[in-house]
Amino acid sequence: MAESHAEQEKKPFGIVLTEESTTADLGPDFICSSYRTSRQLWEVLVGKDIAGPMIEACASGDNSTLKILLAQPQWSKIMLEKQHFICDQDRERKDENDVRGVSGMAAQNLVRAIIIAAKNGHDTVVRTLLDFVSQQGIKFESVLWRDALMYTIKNGHVAVFDAMASAWPGIVNSDLLCHRRRPLYEALREDQAEIVAEMLRLGADVTPSADWGPKPLSFNCSLLSVAARSRKGTRLTEVLLEHGVPIKGSGALHTAAYYGRIDIMRLLIQYGADVDEKLQKDTISHHRSALCASWTPAFFAASEYKLDAYNLLVENGASTTTKDANGMTPIQLVDLFEKSYREYSAAHPDIKNPLIWQFGGPNFSIFDYC
């Protein structure tokens, strides 16, 4: 049987285990267990890979060879058989002899073939595999694992997603991903604008929904707020706005101001964002939600010392006299930040960038000091 995590923890600290798991260690089907191996992610755990030629065709994008193999009864049978394969690893493999901890389970070779083809962006291979799924009368959701969908999204494989959606339209609004997040939300988190645009074209649901994030839905989990954090420019925000996703209540301008995303701020203002909007308290998942609910976007900019963002808001009519729950204005937050900066600089002349380290680390936020 596979060694449990508890048994592994009993091993003497500091000893590097180099023994690879064997056939005798394999756990029951559909139970993910811990193993040790030098093999790569998505390879079979032990022994010979009986589906080797088909897996190689999927990995290389050789759709012609794959079709020839699947047309033969012996190979189509093998595609539906199960093998234990590696589905996760403690760390990347250093070399072909590097034995490390992995997770593995038994599943159909078809599952692994789809994952590998999706990861490598081979849309024609994915279409062939999903045609095979349909011919066999198998439910798509039983063989389209979240790994295949995550690789597709993370790597920006638009054509692969099209192949999946063509075979199973329901994947667009499915809850295959972790924490029941929908594909659209994950594509936004991964900053994949073209995947987002394609999902919207295919009918992705943009209505607020708790299964896109924590419950209750926090403003910083709204679609536009996630898009406002993009480091790649305005494209994510553009496709959402063009699709009619509402700005009001999304916290998008607050988020863009907080992160200093000037171009995104300009776009949101162009589309009518309220520069003095305050967020509802129940949409703020923060221990000082009452304070943050009294903040306009200018406060969010000031709290992170984003002066360009603050100035842009003021230029577009944002109030400079609004007071928060503590009786402070945005510019007073800026002054507080500058005062702390000067004091810390004087006390720590050896720190090259005291603005980052003044409160003990790069994750400082005046949320905790105002």
DSSP for 165-191 reads: HHH-GGGGG---SGGG--HHHHHHHTT
Cβ-based neighbour number of residue 147 at 10 Å? 20
179 backbone φψ class: left, alpha, beta (φ>0; ψ -120 to 50):
left
CB-CB contact of 262 with 308 (8 Å)? yes
- pLDDT value of position 177: 83
Cα first-last separation, the chain: 56
Phi, psi of 30 (to 5 degrees): 60, 20
pLDDT values of the chain reduced to their tens digit, one per residue, 370 residues? 444 444 444 443 333 445 788 888 888 876 889 999 999 999 999 999 999 999 999 999 999 999 999 999 999 999 999 999 999 999 999 999 999 999 999 999 999 999 999 999 999 999 999 999 999 999 999 999 999 999 999 999 999 999 999 999 999 999 888 767 889 999 999 999 999 999 999 999 988 654 444 444 677 788 999 999 999 999 999 999 999 999 999 999 999 999 999 999 999 999 999 999 998 887 776 666 788 889 999 999 998 889 999 999 999 999 999 999 889 999 898 888 777 777 767 777 775 554 443 333 333 343 333 2
Question: To 10 degrees, what angle do helices 252-259 and 262-270 make?
Answer: 160
Separation between Cα atoms, residue 118 and residue 130, nearest integer Å? 11
Separation between Cα atoms, residue 20 and residue 15, nearest integer Å? 15
Separation between Cα atoms, residue 279 and residue 216, nearest integer Å? 14
The model's pLDDT over 4-54, given as tens digits with 9 standing for 90+, comes to: 444 444 443 333 445 788 888 888 876 889 999 999 999 999 999 999 999
In this structure, what token pair is assigned to residue 174? 């499915």
Q: Which residues, listed in sequence order, are joined to residue 36 by a DSSP beta bridge? A: 101
CB-CB contact of 279 with 292 (8 Å)? yes
- pLDDT value of position 287: 62
Domains of the chain: 27-143 (no CATH), 206-338 (1.25.40.20)
Instruction: Name the percent of the chain lying above pLDDT 90.
Output: 67
CB-CB contact of 354 with 344 (8 Å)? yes
pTM of the model: 0.84
Closest CA to 103 of 14, 25, 10, 12: 25
156 backbone φψ class: left, alpha, beta (φ>0; ψ -120 to 50):
left
Q: How many residues does the chain have?
A: 370
